[in-house]
Amino acid sequence: MTTPFYDNRDTRDPAEREADLMARLPDVVAAAQRSPAGAERLAGVDPGEITSRAALARLPVLRKSDLPGLQKANPPFGGFHAGSLAVFGRLFTSPGPIHEGEGRGTDPWGAARGLYAAGFRPGDVVINTFSYHLTPGGFIMDGGARALGCPVIPAGPGNTEAQLDVIEAFRPVAFAGTPDFLKIVLDAANGAGRDVSSIRKAIVSGAAFPKSLQELFSGRGIEAYQAYATADIGFIAYETEAREGMVVNEDIILEIVRPGTGDPVPEGDVGEIVVTSLDPERPLLRLAVGDLTAAMGGTSACGRTNTRIRGWMGRADQTTKVKGMFVRPEQVAEIGRRHPELGRLRLVVTREGENDAMTLRAEAPSPALAEPLAATLQSVTKLRGAIEIVPPGSLPNDGKVIADERKYD
């Protein structure tokens, strides 16, 4: 009988895992400092002192949205890689454009653990419909599946008729791709009288996976699970049979921070995902990927003990223009820093007649704070706005700090 766990790290004591991650962190900080950009960003940092989450939180955040500009100015990796490109097995370009490199080791994107949680087992034939062209998506899944001992059909996306041909020929047990494309394949097979009944399990990513679609697949005999992965890191988190959030992958440190800052939020609050990869060949320190989520308390019913997140909950970049000037989440965070007595903040942008207008809604213990808040709002944003004091705990816990509610007829 096979174990439900990939290895014993799935179920180790959380304190043991945390100690292991923090013990490995200084070497990764030192590796990052060996690149020109890393040396500049981490000037004066002693790697030996970065041994806790609090110490890590003092390091600067690298925003994924900044990578295209940095890499264009200093190709190919923006100065964040030192030495020869020969350390990489493959080189990619993702939309942005953002350049990525794949390591030479087995399962360099850390996908095998998530695939195993989705039920993939040695010998399962996998049809992989993620793209193999320039972007790493196809290779992320391919590497993880082959590390498990699964033969892979490198199908890529599209060309549904050819997909049906290879499914009937090789009878794959497992599918990897977007949930939308899996539905396209199933609908096409149903309409054409083709047999795709061999597919019984799936790992899906890259698009929303609502419960209705999960139930549709289950009704057709396919148990499908989500993966949360990026082209920079690989597998960040994955769903398990418990279907209670997503378990964070091993070998990474995940933080959830207030959008526009590097400041960790309390457990349960929605914030932006920041990831540190503990791969000394590809050190990435505090990469803010631009997605929102929240941490879940307790341990998964499946027995895995790593942190769980609620999955993708929207985008963190809420920058907008008001009266021709950019207003950014970082500015809302700065207002909060200047008034630590406040709770959550939300800047609401509307139209009044033919003019932009903004109102800062602030959780505060006293309406007397409205006047100094108005002055701070104008000082930080260079724009005037109204202040609305609301009771503590009344603003939604959804990570949104700027809400653009303008409607144009």
250-275: average pLDDT:
93
Location of structure tokens 């990578």: 67
Q: Which position has the higher pLDDT, 116 or 320?
A: 116
Share of the chain above pLDDT 90, in %: 81
CA distances from 188 to 18, 22, 107, 169 (A): 47, 49, 32, 16
Q: CA-to-CA distance for 353 and 355, rounded, in angstroms?
A: 6
**Maximum mean pLDDT: which of 46-50, 68-72, 83-87:** 46-50
Q: What are phi and psi of 77, to 5 degrees?
A: -115, 20
- Under the banding of pLDDT at 50, 70 and 90, the label for residue 138 is very high
Mean pLDDT of the 250-268 span: 93
Cβ(39)–Cβ(296) under 8 Å? no
Q: Report which of 52, 59, 98 is spatially closest to residue 76, judged by C-alpha positions.
A: 98
| 389: exposed, middle or buried (Cβ count in 10 Å: 0-12, 13-18, 19+) | middle
Cα-based distances in Å from 292 to 239, 274, 297, 311, 349? 17, 10, 17, 8, 21
Within 53-94, residue ranges assigned H as helices are 53-56, 67-73
Higher pLDDT, 323 or 17: 17
pTM of the model: 0.85
pLDDT at residue 1 is higher than 70: no
Provide the pLDDT for residue 319.
81
Q: Assign 197 a pLDDT band (cuts: 50, 70, 90).
A: very high
- Predicted confidence band at 34 (pLDDT cuts at 50, 70, 90)? very high
Average pLDDT over residues 237-257: 97
Q: pLDDT tens digit string along 306-342?
A: 999 998 888 887 888 888 777 888 899 899 999 999 9
Cα–Cα distance measured from residue 175 to residue 126, given in angstroms and rounded to the nearest whole number: 6
Handedness of CA 118, 122, 125, 131 (dihedral sign): positive
What is the pLDDT confidence band of residue 279, given thresholds at 50, 70 and 90? Answer: confident
- Asked whether the predicted pLDDT for residue 408 surpasses 70, the reply is no
What contacts 279, CB < 8 A, 6 or more positions away? 28, 103, 251
The pLDDT of residue 316 is 80
Specify the amino acid at residue 252. Answer: I
The pLDDT assigned to 354 comes to 62
pLDDT higher at 352 or 339: 339
Question: Please, what is the average pLDDT of the chain?
Answer: 93
Domains in the chain, CATH or no CATH each: 8-315 (3.40.50.12780), 320-404 (3.30.300.30)
pLDDT tens, residue by residue, 354-381:
678 899 999 999 999 999 999 999 999 9
Tell me how far the alpha carbon of residue 45 is from its chain's centroid.
27
